[in-house]
């Protein structure tokens, strides 16, 4: 299995582009570690190498994911996120602890947070909704990425009209969070929930708009009609 990791790293290094590397480093406000490989190529490389390991057990694949996460490189994290999602039909309740560890220990920017949580964690929660209360603990964390993860893990279910009570609860907890990326995360969550629950989300925004950060509010109303946006933005 170590050979696969070495081969992936060698291919990423071979395809590294200094201009892309500098561009990515300038794009993110926080410090990131990147090779400088396009997301499309990273996805292609990940898929190619997954074909070589797809016969492995889910646990063995997750071990490889852990090694990729440990590197700190964004491109390796993206491959780890994709590989863990490829096994989503095999998720069991015990996997939550694995995903939680990855968020807490390895996620260090919004891109890896969202890639892991939108799909791997989001799918897990739809399969095992009894774990939804765990997001409350994430929302209380001192770790900004855990707090953002509490919201963005609900993005896909919220878009489908699911878990409205949990969406509202997490929004309540993060409502006045001091971190801009957490604010954007829960604003995005509310926006997706508004697709199926426009009235409920609009009422929530109007009730809280005096204390809701404008960044969160603007995200939350993005999919709403102009007249509702105007009401929400009015002082």
Range 158-164 average pLDDT: 98
Please give the mean pLDDT across all residues of the chain.
97
Nearest alpha carbon to residue 84 among 113, 109, 50: 50
Q: What is the CA radius of gyration of the chain?
A: 19
Range 1-5 average pLDDT: 84
Residue length of the chain: 235
* Share above pLDDT 90 across residues of the chain, in percent, rounded to a whole number: 97
> What global pTM score does this model have?
0.95
C-beta neighbour count of 89 within 10 angstroms: 8
- Long-range pairs of 26-29 with CB within 8 A, sequence gap ≥ 24: 28/109, 28/110, 28/111
- Cβ-contact 149, 138 below 8 angstroms: yes
Tell me where in the chain the CATH 1.25.10.90 domain(s) lie: 99-235
Sequence-ordered strand ranges (E) for the chain: none
Assigned fold of 99-235: 1.25.10
pLDDT confidence of 1, banded at 50, 70, 90?
A: low
Instruction: Quote the CA–CA distance of 155 and 185 in Å, as a whole number.
Output: 9
């Amino acid at each position: 299995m170590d050979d696969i990791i070495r081969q992936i790293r060698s291919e990423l290094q071979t395809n590294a582009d200094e201009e892309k590397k500098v561009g990515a480093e300038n794009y993110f406000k926080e410090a990131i570690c990147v090779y400088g490989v396009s997301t499309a190529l990273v996805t292609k490389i990940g898929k190619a190498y997954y074909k070589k390991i797809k016969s492995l057990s889910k646990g063995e694949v997750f071990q490889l994911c852990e090694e990729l996460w440990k590197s700190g490189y964004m491109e390796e994290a993206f491959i780890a996120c994709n590989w863990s999602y490829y096994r989503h039909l095999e998720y069991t309740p015990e996997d939550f602890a694995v995903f939680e560890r990855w968020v807490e220990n390895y996620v260090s920017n919004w891109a890896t947070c969202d890639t892991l949580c939108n799909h791997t964690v989001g799918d897990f929660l739809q399969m095992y909704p009894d774990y939804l209360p765990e997001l409350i603990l994430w929302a209380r964390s001192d770790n900004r990425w855990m707090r953002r993860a509490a919201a963005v893990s609900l993005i896909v279910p919220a878009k489908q009209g699911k878990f409205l009570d949990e969406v509202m609860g997490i929004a309540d907890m993060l409502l006045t969070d001091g971190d801009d990326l957490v604010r954007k995360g829960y604003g995005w969550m509310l926006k997706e929930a508004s697709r199926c629950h426009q009235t409920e989300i609009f009422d929530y925004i109007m009730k809280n708009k005096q204390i809701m950060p404008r960044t969160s509010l603007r995200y939350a109303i993005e999919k709403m009609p102009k007249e509702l946006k105007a009401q929400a933005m009015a002082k």
